[in-house]
C-alpha cells in the first residue's frame, strides 16, 4: 500500500487531498501545526477507509522540526511514496508595512520547508525507483504581483524549482508536479487578511474538492505543471506576452481592497 505525506493537511486543499487519497486506500502522514484537527481527521479517515494515518504536529517555519520529519518516519519504518508539499500561506499589503517576521515565516514555509522535505524524500524514492512529488505553487507564480510581492515570488520559486527538478529526475521513475491553483475557497484569504481584496470579490473561488482532485490526477500522471481552471491557464499564457510592469500593476489593481 502506498503512503502519502501531506503538509498543510489541517485545512483547505491539503485536507481535501487527504480525504481523496484515503478513499483510494492510501496510507497517510498528515503534517501541520494544529494537532487536534489532524487527530480528528485521522480518526475519521481510519474509521471510514481502513487506512493507516500518522499525525505530525510540526511548525514548518522551524527548520529543526522540518529536518526531523524524515528521520522520525524512517525510525517508524515508513517510506513516503507521494510527497505533497501543500502547506503555505500568503500576506497581503505593502511590503514595507508587513511584519518582517511574518514575511520570513512565509519564506520558511513556502520555500525552505518545501525544498528541505523534497531533498529528504528523494534518497528513498531514488532507491526504490519510484515516487511522486506534488508541490503546490499558484497561478500567481507566473507573474510579479504588487501587494503580494513576497508571496508571488515564493510561488515563482516553487514553480521554477519543480520544473527544473522534473527534468533532472527524468528516467528515475520519480515525477515532480507543480500544481498552480487560482483563487480557491479555503482559509487562505482570511489568513492573508485579504477577504476584501477586489480579486476575491471579482472571481468566484474554485471549490477545494475540484482543485485537490485535479492536482492529484496531475501528480499521478506525472505532469510537470498543472494550472487549475481554463481562465487561469489563459492568464498564465497571456502574461508571457504582456509588459511585466503592466502585469505587476494589474495585480496591484486586483489585490487592492
Ligand atoms: N486558496 C487559494 O486561493 C490558493 C491559490 C493558489 C495557491 N494556494 C496554495 O495552496 C496551498 C494550500 O492552501 P489552502 O488554500 O488550502 O489554504 P489554508 O486552508 O489556509 O491551508 C493552509 C495549510 O497550510 C498549513 N500551514 C501554514 N503555515 C504552516 C506552518 N508554519 N507549519 C505547518 N503548516 C502550516 C496550515 O496548517 P496549520 O495552520 O494547522 O499549521 C493549513 O493546513 C498553499 O500553499 C497556498 O499557497 C492557495
Fold entry, domain 3-255: Rossmann fold (3.40.50)
Residue corresponding to grid cell 489541517: 10
Residue 199: per-residue pLDDT: 85
Q: Which atom of ligand 1 is nearest to the CA of 190?
A: 20
Instruction: Give pLDDT tens digits for 202-254.
Output: 888 999 999 999 999 999 999 999 999 999 999 999 999 999 889 988 889 98
Residue ranges covered by each domain of the chain: 3-255
Identify the pLDDT of residue 248.
87
Three-state secondary structure call for residue 192: coil
Query: What's the distance, CA 71 to chain centroid?
Result: 22
Residue whose C-alpha cell reads 487592492 in the numeric block = 256
User: pLDDT of 27-38, one tens digit each?
Assistant: 999 999 999 999
Confidence tier at 198 by pLDDT (50, 70, 90): confident
Summarize the confidence of residues 12-26 as an average pLDDT.
98
Nearest CA to ligand 1 atom 25: 8
How confident is residue 196, by pLDDT bands cut at 50, 70 and 90? confident
| pLDDT band with cut points at 50, 70 and 90 for residue 160 | very high
Is residue 151 part of the annotated active site? The answer reads yes
* Angle separating helix axes 114-128 and 149-168, nearest 10 degrees: 10
Q: What distance in angstroms lies between residue 243's CA and the mean position of ligand 1's atoms?
A: 30
What pLDDT, on a 0 to 100 scale, did the predictor assign at position 78? Answer: 98
What is the distance between the alpha carbons of residues 137 and 156, in angstroms, rounded to a whole number? 7
Nearest protein CA to atom 34 of ligand 1, as residue: 32
- Protein residues with CB under 6 Å of any ligand 1 atom: 8, 10-14, 32-34, 59-61, 86-90, 109, 136, 138, 181, 183-184, 186-188, 191
Amino acid at each position: 500500500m502506498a503512503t502519502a505525506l501531506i503538509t498543510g493537511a489541517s485545512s483547505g486543499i491539503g485536507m481535501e487531498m487527504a480525504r481523496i487519497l484515503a478513499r483510494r486506500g492510501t496510507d497517510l502522514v498528515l503534517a501541520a501545526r494544529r494537532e487536534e484537527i489532524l487527530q480528528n481527521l485521522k480518526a475519521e479517515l481510519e474509521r471510514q477507509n481502513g487506512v493507516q494515518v500518522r499525525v505530525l504536529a510540526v511548525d514548518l517555519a522551524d527548520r529543526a522540526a522540518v529536518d526531523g520529519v524524515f528521520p522520525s518516519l524512517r525510525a517508524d519504518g515508513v517510506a513516503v511514496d507521494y510527497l505533497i508539499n501543500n502547506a503555505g500561506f500568503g500576506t497581503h499589503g505593502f511590503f514595507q508595512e508587513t511584519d518582517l517576521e511574518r514575511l520570513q515565516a512565509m519564506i520558511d514555509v513556502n520555500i525552505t520547508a518545501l525544498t528541505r522535505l523534497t531533498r529528504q524524500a528523494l534518497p528513498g524514492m531514488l532507491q526504490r525507483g519510484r515516487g511522486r512529488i506534488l508541490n503546490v505553487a499558484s497561478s500567481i507564480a507566473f507573474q510579479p504581483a504588487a501587494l503580494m510581492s513576497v508571496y508571488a515570488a515564493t510561488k515563482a520559486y516553487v514553480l521554477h524549482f519543480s520544473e527544473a527538478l522534473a527534468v533532472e529526475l527524468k528516467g528515475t521513475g520519480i515525477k515532480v508536479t507543480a500544481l498552480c491553483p487560482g483563487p480557491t475557497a479555503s482559509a487562505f484569504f482570511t489568513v492573508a487578511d485579504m477577504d476584501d481584496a477586489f480579486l476575491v470579490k471579482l472571481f468566484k473561488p474554485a471549490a477545494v474538492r475540484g482543485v485537490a482532485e485535479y492536482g492529484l490526477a496531475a501528480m499521478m500522471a506525472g505532469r510537470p505543471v498543472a494550472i487549475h481552471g481554463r481562465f487561469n491557464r489563459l492568464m498564465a499564457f497571456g502574461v508571457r506576452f504582456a509588459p511585466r510592469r503592466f502585469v505587476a500593476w494589474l495585480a496591484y489593481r486586483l489585490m487592492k481592497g
